[in-house]
Structure 1
Amino acid sequence: MPAAPVANAIAMSDPLAGAVEVLPDRLYYIALKAHPRQDNTTTLTSGKTRHIHYFCVDTELVYWNFFLDFGPLNLGQLNRFCTKLNEKLSSTDASLSSKVVCFYSSASPAKRTNAIFLITAWQVLFLDRTPEEAYNGFRSEDDGNAPSASCSLPPRIVKSAPRSSIRSIQPTPPFHDASPCECTYDLSILDCLRGLVKARMYRFFDFDDFDVDEYEYFEQVENGDLNWIIKDKILAFAGPHYQREVSPEGYCTLAPSDYIPYFRRKKVGLVVRLNKKCYDEKEFVKAGINHFEQYYLDGSCPPIKVLQRIVGVFERVQPDKGFAVHCKAGLGRTGTCIGAYIMKHYRFTAAEAIGWMRICRPGMVIGPQQQFLHDLEQRLW
Structure 2
Amino acid sequence: MRHLPKRITEVTNQAVQEVITLIPRLYFSVFENKITTDSKLKYIFLYINEHTQYVPFADDFGPIDISSTLKFLEIVKAMHTKFTNSHLFICCLNVDKERLNGAVLAGAYLILYERMELEEVYDLLTGSGGISYISFLDASTDAEAWKMDLKSALSGFVAGFQNQFFSLKNFNFYEHDHYGLVQYGDLNWIIPGKLMAFAKPTETQVIDHYPPNSTTRLAPMFVKFGITAIVQTNEKEYDPLDFTKFGIKHFLLTFEDMTEPSPEYVLQFLKICQEEEIIAVHCKSGLGRTGTLIACYMIWKFKIKAETCIAWLRLARPGSVLTLQAAWLIKMFPLIVCLTKDDIMNNNINKLIMGSPLPTRKSSSPIKSTTISATKGSAIKTLDKPKTRLRKTKVVAGGE
Q: Distance in 2 between matches of 1:252 and 1:176?
A: 33
Q: 1:67 matched to which residue of 2?
A: 58
**Which has the larger displacement, 213-222 or 51-60?**
51-60
Q: Distance in 1 between matches of 2:145 and 2:206?
A: 36
Contact 1:57 1:105 (8 Å CA) reproduced = yes
**Gapped regions of structure 1 (runs ≥ 5):** 1-9, 42-49, 143-167
Q: Distance in 1 between matches of 2:207 and 2:327?
A: 35
Structure 1 residue identity aligned to 2:181: Q
Contact 1:233 1:322 (8 Å CA) reproduced = yes
Secondary structure of residue in 1 paired with 2:12: coil
Contact 1:255 1:279 (8 Å CA) reproduced = no
Q: Structure 1 residues 38, 207: CA separation in 2 closer, same or farther (over 3 Å shift)?
A: closer
Secondary structure of residue in 2 paired with 1:180: coil
| Aligned pairs (5 A) from 1:49-128 | 51-91=42-82, 96-128=83-115
Q: How far apart are residue 373 of structure 1 and its match?
A: 0.2
Q: 1:342 matched to which residue of 2?
A: 298
Q: How far apart are residue 183 of structure 1 and its match?
A: 3.7
Q: Structure 1 residues 327, 251: CA separation in 2 closer, same or farther (over 3 Å shift)?
A: farther
Contact 2:306 2:333 (8 Å CA) reproduced = yes
Q: 2:30 matched to which residue of 1?
A: 31
**Gapped regions of structure 2 (runs ≥ 5):** 1-5, 338-400
| Aligned pairs (5 A) from 1:1-381 | 14-17=10-13, 18-24=18-24, 26-39=25-38, 51-91=42-82, 96-139=83-126, 168-169=130-131, 171-241=132-202, 243=203, 245-246=205-206, 253-317=212-276, 321-381=277-337
Give the TM-score normalised by the residue count of structure 2: 0.77
What is the RMSD computed on CA atoms of the aligned residues?
A: 2.2
Q: How far apart are residue 184 of structure 1 and its match?
A: 3.7
Q: Structure 1 residues 107, 11: CA separation in 2 closer, same or farther (over 3 Å shift)?
A: farther
Structure 2 residue identity aligned to 1:284: F
Q: Distance in 1 between matches of 2:77 and 2:199?
A: 34
Secondary structure of residue in 2 paired with 1:63: coil
Secondary structure of residue in 2 paired with 1:228: strand
Q: Structure 1 residues 32, 268: CA separation in 2 closer, same or farther (over 3 Å shift)?
A: same
Q: How far apart are residue 140 of structure 1 and its match?
A: 5.8
Contact 1:175 1:188 (8 Å CA) reproduced = yes
Structure 1 residue identity aligned to 2:236: K
Q: 2:368 matched to which residue of 1?
A: none
Q: How far apart are residue 294 of structure 1 and its match?
A: 1.1
Q: Distance in 1 between matches of 2:9 and 2:257?
A: 57
Q: Distance in 1 between matches of 2:23 and 2:9?
A: 21
Structure 2 residue identity aligned to 1:177: D
Q: Structure 1 residues 292, 345: CA separation in 2 closer, same or farther (over 3 Å shift)?
A: same
Per-residue CA deviations over 1:216-260 (Å, capped at 9, x if unaligned) read: 11111000111100111110000102x252169x99741012222
Q: Structure 1 residues 19, 240: CA separation in 2 closer, same or farther (over 3 Å shift)?
A: same
Q: Distance in 2 between matches of 1:275 and 1:11?
A: 59
Aligned residue pair count: 328
Structure 1 residue identity aligned to 2:314: R
Q: Distance in 2 between matches of 1:13 and 1:201?
A: 37
Structure 2 residue identity aligned to 1:285: T
Contact 2:156 2:312 (8 Å CA) reproduced = yes
Q: Distance in 2 between matches of 1:201 and 1:66?
A: 29
**Which has the larger displacement, 77-86 or 305-314?**
305-314
Per-residue CA deviations over 1:90-110 (Å, capped at 9, x if unaligned) read: 21xxxx332111111121111
Q: Distance in 1 between matches of 2:144 and 2:79?
A: 38
**Which has the larger displacement, 120-129 or 15-24?**
15-24
Secondary structure of residue in 1 paired with 2:159: helix
Q: Distance in 2 between matches of 1:38 and 1:90?
A: 17
Give the fraction of aligned pairs with identical amino acids, expressed as a percent: 26
Secondary structure of residue in 2 paired with 1:268: coil
Structure 1 residue identity aligned to 2:47: C
Secondary structure of residue in 2 paired with 1:229: strand
Secondary structure of residue in 1 paired with 2:43: strand
Q: Distance in 1 between matches of 2:35 and 2:241?
A: 59
Q: Structure 1 residues 12, 76: CA separation in 2 closer, same or farther (over 3 Å shift)?
A: closer
Q: How far apart are residue 122 of structure 1 and its match?
A: 1.2
Q: How far apart are residue 263 of structure 1 and its match?
A: 1.4
Q: Structure 1 residues 133, 273: CA separation in 2 closer, same or farther (over 3 Å shift)?
A: same
Contact 1:68 1:176 (8 Å CA) reproduced = yes
Q: Distance in 2 between matches of 1:257 and 1:221?
A: 16
Q: How far apart are residue 60 of structure 1 and its match?
A: 2.9
Q: Structure 1 residues 36, 137: CA separation in 2 closer, same or farther (over 3 Å shift)?
A: same
Secondary structure of residue in 1 paired with 2:110: helix
Give the TM-score normalised by the residue count of structure 1: 0.81
Q: How far apart are residue 202 of structure 1 and its match?
A: 1.6
Q: Distance in 1 between matches of 2:188 and 2:144?
A: 24
Q: Distance in 2 between matches of 1:108 and 1:251?
A: 38
